[in-house]
Structure 1
């Protein structure tokens, strides 16, 4: 349902807000505006926001205070700081406190667009891959107990760690745990999602650049290695780094030194590196997409995070955790847990999206649940399968799931299967999707007492997109009558 990313601009200069807002709208974003930090917090409370752009100097609540409030309540939300040349040092300090990036006045149009696009992509990747601060280190399965043991042994060492695992298994959470349990815990933890950065910008992102190094470099800027000095640098999706950049990265890791782009001065740092990937780097080496020497330098300690299907015993604990969270967020205090039949369905599902997928399923089920416990009927249709009496293959589970979906479609759409195929598959899918979409919006509206703004925030779409969707589904007129 989500169509456009939503950007919040917080700046006390009305002209600057208008100029930035116009540019962002031309670039395809929806824009919200606030004239000070307090108004920005109020806007965040009422809307789903993907990226925040904030000036450092504002009345009532300045940019640094706003940043601290956001990182405390929404640590995954990228915050871009606007600064004048004279306050660049403060902006760098903001990066160490958790800001995503900063831009300096006067703006270079291209640089500003690149920074915002990068932040938007990073926000999207974080949502998609389930970087799950506070929610992945849950479980008492042998696989997770082994992970805990490794964390205890290697956390307070300078050794490089390579975290591998499928998307949604919680790789960043492990990196944070390693940092927090080390003697560097009070120093910066700087993360870089290599998949979110265009290939031609990865060098300047990691190592910084000097003024005039390239078009748009109107001032010098430190890279992520410098910002992480004394602390930890987490390179997520390291398999996305171009081969020609891997040589310089290897040197920086081994020698703890490098030069900025366009610079001649060698900069020395003290950085503990943690890398993560969902790729098979050994296969990437065979296909000459990853350097073997870099792989061995990264792979001092390897931690493989198991997919959820390999730790089924942890599913009830994770479900309990998510139910508690969404009870408060969705104001569903009456829901106390999951029924036995629904839990059997959850245990039978292979969870290709891992913990992220489980979290989304529980959120959706909580939204639809009208009783004290989540029942099978509250779960998404593609999960409503009868668990096999004995452990079976994923193919058997998928076959049963397809059979039930076919049956549900026939009942819901009121159509009898016909040999001549009077109703095409695409039309069936479109009608079924519209029905589910309509039901979800209606439930969300009921949950928020008909408040469109709160409903949009609950569904994580912009208010404008929700209004458009309500009109398409015939809900707008129904609510206005």
Structure 2
């Protein structure tokens, strides 16, 4: 019996301009794809409801509706159908709205056929290798708490489109791990994931590091070299601590993201790049915009969809799951048996507030494994300082109920603030984060309560 041939991937092209629809159809047919056309939103919805498609390309504005209507229709039905929208030149607002609604990507008119081909190839890479599928199953983010499960659900959604993602969260909360999870679950998983710490690059080297350089462009440029954008081509570029970028570099980064092209230092021609941008910072980027430290246009380009990583203290008993995983990892690296936690150690871990989050937990466990006797880690091995919450509770319990209410509250508040300042070496910015208040609010409380250093 003859072997049945595999069906060609099917693409739905939606555009009320017949000439453009035919141009797109011809390009896609030459790529070996099966193409269906619809000249309006209503006709497109009928086809989507009755037939299977692997990709949809839709114009943004049509007489009977918008491309956004199709995006929402596909999302509402829960279809595994990537959709890209075609927007008018310079219509950034429409593109961002489409990405937020769940579109895979967008193209600007006039449509550049090379960009179209790159988008289609990226969208149709549905079948991953066994290694990639295994990596998708082995999530780098552990835990069953509501806070983490919400993050994992959003990561799955983000992996299905190309929208820029802005990851927020405290230092050590796993922002890079979240970015890697998005990449590993996306159709870019077989391409590079390039992580860049923007705060670690000297300002005079930034342009050459990001965009590469040509031989002879400057003293020491002995050979041509690719930059981060070229290295991540087809994959994901993760910009950590993006708030540390100087303003001059922000302008160049914005242009590279908008145009999807880079020019090497010392080069003449621009090179097309296809990267997904994920950025992160522990700073409040909106406040950086307000203070003039960060460009507003770049902020809106990066912050299309925000993913907030929960602090470890917000994840309940997940700390024990993560701690057990880390201890097993330490044991595997050091070639030693896996240690267990005593009941006292587990209680201590659950009560501690972890201002440094998972990174601090890992450091604590590295030390505990080295200090522990036998096969168990006890609370003394962890060497955890009493949390500011415990200190405040202890002080409050000793205050009694003989004071006027305001005095009583002031004393409790002062005790908590002093404990936080002690823990952070009187670093008011870190203390404010620890207490969950703004820096301005903490400064007001310090003045009101008469708290001074030393």
TM-score w.r.t. the length of structure 1 is 0.52
Q: 1:385 to 1:338 in 2, by over 3 A?
A: farther
Name which of 211, 214, 217 aligns with 1:210. Answer: 214
Distance 1:397 1:348 in 2: 18
Q: Indicate whether 1:166 and 2:173 are aligned.
A: no
Which residue in the other structure is 1:355 paired with? 358
Name which of 366, 369, 374 aligns with 1:371. Answer: 374
RMSD between aligned alpha carbons? 3.0
Name which of 152, 156, 168 aligns with 1:152. Answer: 156
Name which of 290, 300, 307 aligns with 1:296. Answer: 300
Name which of 337, 342, 346 aligns with 1:339. Answer: 342
2:159–2:182 Cα contact (<8 Å) kept: yes
Give the length in aligned residue pairs.
269
2:342–2:376 Cα contact (<8 Å) kept: yes
Q: CA deviation at 1:193?
A: 1.2
* Residues 178-327 of structure 1 aligned to structure 2 (within 5 Å): 178-327=182-331
Residues 340-378 of structure 1: CA deviation (Å, up to 9, x unaligned):
222222222221111011111112112221133221221
Q: CA deviation at 1:325?
A: 2.1
Q: CA deviation at 1:323?
A: 2.2
Q: 1:136 to 1:230 in 2, by over 3 A?
A: closer
2:353–2:387 Cα contact (<8 Å) kept: no
Distance 1:334 1:178 in 2: 30
2:212–2:264 Cα contact (<8 Å) kept: yes
Which residue in the other structure is 1:432 paired with? none
Q: CA deviation at 1:332?
A: 4.5
Q: 1:338 to 1:257 in 2, by over 3 A?
A: same
Which secondary structure does the structure 1 equivalent of 2:223 belong to? coil
Q: 1:402 to 1:212 in 2, by over 3 A?
A: closer
Distance 1:182 1:357 in 2: 29
Q: Indicate whether 1:141 and 2:145 are aligned.
A: yes
Residues 248-290 of structure 1: CA deviation (Å, up to 9, x unaligned):
1111111101211122201111111111111111111111110
Which secondary structure does the structure 2 equivalent of 1:356 belong to? helix
Distance 2:257 2:140 in 1: 28
Q: 1:136 to 1:348 in 2, by over 3 A?
A: farther
Q: 1:400 to 1:294 in 2, by over 3 A?
A: closer
Q: CA deviation at 1:188?
A: 1.5
- Further displaced range: 185-194 or 297-306: 185-194
Structure label with greater radius of gyration = 2
Which secondary structure does the structure 2 equivalent of 1:235 belong to? strand
Which residue in the other structure is 1:382 paired with? 385
Distance 2:322 2:329 in 1: 11
Distance 2:422 2:237 in 1: 44
TM-score w.r.t. the length of structure 2 is 0.55
Which secondary structure does the structure 2 equivalent of 1:303 belong to? strand
2:164–2:305 Cα contact (<8 Å) kept: yes
* Residues 438-449 of structure 1 aligned to structure 2 (within 5 Å): none
Q: CA deviation at 1:220?
A: 1.9
Q: 1:220 to 1:316 in 2, by over 3 A?
A: same
2:159–2:185 Cα contact (<8 Å) kept: yes
Which secondary structure does the structure 1 equivalent of 2:317 belong to? helix
* Residues 19-30 of structure 1 aligned to structure 2 (within 5 Å): none
Distance 2:290 2:389 in 1: 42
2:392–2:416 Cα contact (<8 Å) kept: no
Distance 1:251 1:271 in 2: 14
2:215–2:224 Cα contact (<8 Å) kept: yes
Q: 1:330 to 1:137 in 2, by over 3 A?
A: same
Which secondary structure does the structure 2 equivalent of 1:382 belong to? coil
Structure 1: 5+ residue stretches without partners: 1-133, 404-481
* Residues 401-420 of structure 1 aligned to structure 2 (within 5 Å): none
1:257–1:267 Cα contact (<8 Å) kept: yes
Q: CA deviation at 1:312?
A: 2.7
